[in-house]
Amino acid sequence: MINQTNSYNTLNQGVLPFFISDCLDICDPVFTFDELVGGMNLEKYLKNVPEHKLGRIRYNPVKMLKTVLFGFMSEGYISLRGLQENCRVNIRFMYLMDRETPSYRTFSYFINDVLKDSIEDIFNDINQEIFSRHKVDLNHLYIDGSKFEANANKYTWVWKKATEKSRYRLFEKITKLLQEINSDLQWSGIKIETNTEYMPEYMRQITERFSEIWKLDTSTFVSGKGHRKTVQQRQYEKLVEYTTKLNEYVTKISICGENRNSYSKTDPSATFMRIKTDYMGNDQLLPAYNVQIGVADEYIAVVDVNQYRSDMDCFIPLMNKYYETYGFYPKYPVADAGYGSFNNYIFCEQKGMKKYMKFTMFKKETTDKKYHNDPFRAVNFEIGDDGKMRCPNGKSFNFLYRQHVKGNQYGRQEEVYQCEDCSGCPYASKCKKTDKNKTVRINEELTAMHQEVINNLESIQGALLRMNRSIQAEGTFGIIKNDRWYKRIVRKGIESVKLEVLLVSIGHNLYKYHNKKMRLQEAA
């Protein structure tokens, strides 16, 4: 007997089965995704699809939406060309698109024009479907923020304070020029009014008026080597130059707005922030966005994109967005020391939320006994029978004045006290750093709030909530950034960035939903 080993078939021949679904495993994530999203009415999110009139028949928008969402579920972040390539070679994407292969331009148009206005509704409705199936507890919300580098160049910064200083220097130059022009116009009896500040429109009017008085023709102006400019030409050109520069400064300050100190020229919506770039903690000043998330039972329940550098300013907008979505505020908002401020504590009191956000000195207050029991801290001073504070030397502190705290939204005031006499005090070297009598600032309301926060977080429930926050909120960013490799914003502009972050958040929640479903099946 001779073994016949020749193979007469080729890989290019047609094979059974005809259905793509038969080639996929029964526990494949595409089936979990299709079962969840397929039961929703997706057509209501596709109102911006224009009517088909001429040309080839457009791709089915429902299939396009499924393909985009599954791409972010499977990859974390997927590019437009990645979507195009997967539709051609990936059997899961073939299953969703029915073997159709849209180009990356088609996906770009669909995401940017069709999904942009409805992406937040899609995020909220998918969350509602997942939360109802897994009975997610929305009263415990774990909050954290992370800075994502923007798609902008490093050295394109515009600083608001530097721009304001340059503008005031320009005001002085304008005043000096106008005084020079007034001295030359004494023969006409015309005098241009000078101010401490100027607007571009006012400067344009002065330039036009100056040209009319001297009957200047800009076509006759000379320039270059060997030509001598007239006094009027030099003054006119300076007026035009100062007007252009002043208009530039006004534009830069208006782009920054009231709440920002900087922006990038290549992405004006991005703010320069300190970003941790490696495991050693080295940081750089880079254009970035502050992405805030609220996590409930490992799912992203609310997400927001801010231009603020500090997390403290992001808490109230995030909570208001949570209320708009779910109709109530979480009872236990748990956050780290970046969120503990007087404004945020007052907001929690007004909205019926418990105070579970650490403040700046929380760790030192609770772990450093030497600092906590320091007799020279104002909070540890004894109160005498006359109601006055007394230092360890027995000297009383007299009330001086109250002052408003800068940037406080609720009228917070600090009371300033001064020691009656610090001369000859044996504790002077430990108690103060100057030769003057010691002054202290006290806010009894904020001190009481800090004590309430300590009591909440040091309880058994508080310890469990702190542990869960570090696992869930920080763990979510760990999955997004390190496991699924989404570390930098791709799009430009605050609205496009929100679209991108919402797509990544939807993908994360679908990814978590599938993993939990598989774990439940294994346990069963």
If the chain, 524 residues long, is cut into consecutive pieces of 10 residues, what is the mean pLDDT of each piece?
Answer: 65 65 88 93 88 79 96 96 96 94 95 94 96 95 96 92 97 96 89 93 95 92 91 95 97 94 96 79 84 97 95 95 96 95 93 95 90 87 84 88 77 84 85 85 88 95 95 96 94 96 98 94 73
Q: What is the largest CA-CA distance in the chain?
A: 125
Among 248, 269, 252, smallest CA distance to 159 is for 252
Shared-domain flag, residues 166 and 250 = yes
Q: Is 60 within the bounds of a domain?
A: yes
Q: Is residue 507 part of a domain?
A: no
What order of strands is seen across the sheet that includes strand 397-404?
Answer: 397-404, 413-419, 439-442
Question: Bridge partners of 148?
Answer: 289
CB 83 within 8 A of CB 74: no
Q: Are residues 166 and 242 in the same domain?
A: yes
Which of 212, 237, 263 is the last residue in one of the domains? 263
What local confidence, expressed as pLDDT, does residue 9 receive?
A: 62
Query: For residue 386, what are the domain limits?
Result: 364-443
* Residue 180 and residue 109 share a domain: no
Give the pLDDT of residue 293: 98
Same domain, 112 and 196: no
Total residues found in the chain within this entry: 524
Domain count, the chain: 3
Q: Are residues 167 and 93 in the same domain?
A: no
Do residues 379 and 430 share a domain?
yes
- Contacts by 98-104, CB closer than 8 A, 24 or more apart: 98/60, 98/63, 99/20, 100/59, 100/60, 100/63, 102/59, 102/64, 102/67, 104/79, 104/80
pTM for the model stands at 0.90
Question: Is residue 489 included in any domain, yes or no?
Answer: no
For residue 197, how far is the Cα from the chain centroid?
34
**From the DSSP assignment, how many helices (H) and strands (E) are in the chain?**
17, 13
Question: Is 454 a member of any domain?
Answer: no
Residue (of 69, 159, 166, 37) closest to 499 by Cα position: 69
**Is the domain of 111 the same as that of 186?**
no
| Residue 127 belongs to some domain of the structure | no
Quick one: tokens of 79? 């590019």
pLDDT of residue 201: 95
Single residue among 248, 263, 278 that ends a domain in this structure = 263
Token code pair at residue 287: 């254009």
Q: What is the predicted pLDDT for the residue at 493?
A: 95
Q: What residues does 402 pair with on adjacent strands?
A: 415
User: What values do phi and psi take at 305, rounded to 5?
Assistant: -115, 125
- Domain assignment of residue 201, yes or no: yes
Q: Is 286 part of any domain?
A: no
- Are 376 and 429 members of one domain? yes
For residues 48 and 107, state if they share a domain: yes
Last residue of some domain: 117, 146, 176? 117
Q: Which pair of tokens denotes residue 55?
A: 């040309």
* Domain identity same for 48 and 98: yes
> Are residues 259 and 170 part of one domain?
yes
Cis peptide before 50 (omega within 30 of 0): no
Is the residue at 107 inside a domain?
Answer: yes
